[in-house]
Copies of this chain bind each other. A is one copy, B any other.
Amino acid sequence: MTAENRRWVLAERPVGMVDDETLRLETAERPSAGPRQAVARVRWLSVDPTIRTWMDDRPGYLPPIGLGEVVRGAGLAEIVESRTDRYAVGDVVYGMTGWQDYVVAGEGEAALTVIPPVVEAGAMLSVLGVNGMTAWFGLLEVGDLRQGDTVVVSGAAGATGSLVGQIAKLKGAGKVVGIAGSEEKCAWVTSALGFDAAVDYRHEDVAAALRRHCPGGIDLYFDNVGGEILDTCLAQMAMRGRVVLCGAISQYNAAGRPPGLVNVVNLIPRRGRMEGFIILDYIERFPSAQLELAAWLGEGRLVHAEHVVRGLEHAPEALNVLFTGENTGKVVVEL
């Protein structure tokens, strides 16, 4: 255990991708636990596209990260000092640790949840973490998945998209088509994850491929990317189709006005619905979803993959990996 706490703070608001000027790695003293508090050593960081949106000075579902503040983000940590009954030294905890070596938990500080020791870090950060929850509630609640639905999901080789397709199959979808950014990702999505088909948006005509794979139209489109792919899917929705707006990764680094959607009007004759959601609203129902996902994990019915970046010092590059699309599966930083 070192006596130092390294932490990434927001130095300036990014325009486009995060670069060398955006974040600053500071070194502070290792924090101590006050009364009814504990200190945890961060072991893993969950690297999610939404972190990029918190760096903009725009109203969102959480306040923007302030200049000089530690970058907000979920992670797994281990309790190394405790002055509360809630945490014992050695406990593995999950929650908003931030991008730093040590985090204070307990009264007035981060609310971290103790994780059963049998749960493996990768599964906790993806299937049982924000991605699994997002896929589950987005698909089943917001998207109202129905038996036999033709489901399309973008970002299909990403942490959330890869789970959306698998959960859809397990819950009775008729056909699941993934959209991803390379031939390798498409091969992974169909062979390892069991999607019925995949479209490589960098090398294929997405509209033509979707017409081929979904001749009856799309019943449920789970959108992780926004922009042009969303617009293409809007043009091919089936009657009473549902568009789940989960994220818009293609837009988060956009500087200037993007081209915009022209096919929203198609929702009128098709009686379509498009709805956005934030997974925090479902937090009280996470345990029931986690239970079923954990059971499937145990049965080997869910596949997950991690793209591991080693060292807190590389966290900013890990974030950019999400936008260049080098990752297959969940991006995590191992400290």
Chain A interfacial positions (CB closer than 8 Å to B): 59-61, 226, 230-231, 245-248, 251, 257-262, 264-278, 281
Taken together, the copies of this chain in the complex come to 2
Alpha-carbon distance A262/B274, docked complex (angstroms)? 15
**Given A260-B262, A261-B264, A262-B258: A274 in contact with B274 (beta carbons within 8 A):** yes
Whole-angstrom distance between the alpha carbons of A209 and B59 in the complex? 20
A207 to B: closest C-beta gap in Å: 15
Residue of B nearest to A227 (CB): B265
Tell whether, in the assembled complex, residue B278 and residue A265 are in contact, meaning their CB atoms are under 8 Å apart.
no
* Contact A265–B281 (Cβ < 8 Å): no
Query: What is the interface of chain A mostly: helix, strand, loop, or mixed?
Result: loop
Residues in chain B near residue A60, CB distance under 8 A: 269
Indicate which residue in B59, B248, B261 contacts A260 across the interface (CB closer than 8 Å): B261
Question: Which among B226, B265, B274 is the interface contact of A226 at CB below 8 angstroms?
Answer: B265
- Can you list 13 pairs linking A and B with CB atoms under 8 Å apart? A61-B269, A245-B265, A245-B267, A258-B262, A259-B260, A260-B260, A260-B262, A261-B261, A264-B264, A266-B276, A269-B276, A271-B277, A274-B275
Given A60-B269, A269-B61, A273-B273, are A264 and B278 also a contact pair (CB < 8 Å)? no
Instruction: Take A260-B260, A260-B262, A262-B260 as given contacts and tell me if A277 and B281 are in contact as well, using a CB distance cutoff of 8 Å.
Output: no
Contact call A275/B264, Cβ cutoff below 8 A: no
Asked if residues B276 and A275 are in contact (CB atoms below 8 Å), the reply is: no
Report B-chain residues with C-beta under 8 Å of the C-beta of A262: 257-258, 260-261
Pairwise interchain contact A248-B268, C-beta atoms closer than 8 A: yes
A230 to B274, CA, bound (A): 14
Is the pair B274, A278 in contact by a Cβ cutoff of 8 Å? no
Contact status A265-B277, CB under 8 Å: no
Distance in angstroms between the alpha carbons of A265 and B227 in the assembled complex: 9
Alpha-carbon distance A108/B63, docked complex (angstroms):
62
Could you say which residues of chain B place their CB within 8 Å of the CB of A273? 273-276
**How many angstroms between the C-alpha atoms of A245 and B264 in the bound complex?**
9
**A245-B264, A267-B274, A274-B275 known; 16 other A-B pairs, CB under 8 Å?**
A61-B268, A230-B264, A231-B260, A248-B268, A258-B262, A259-B260, A260-B260, A264-B274, A267-B276, A268-B278, A269-B276, A269-B278, A271-B276, A271-B278, A272-B275, A274-B274
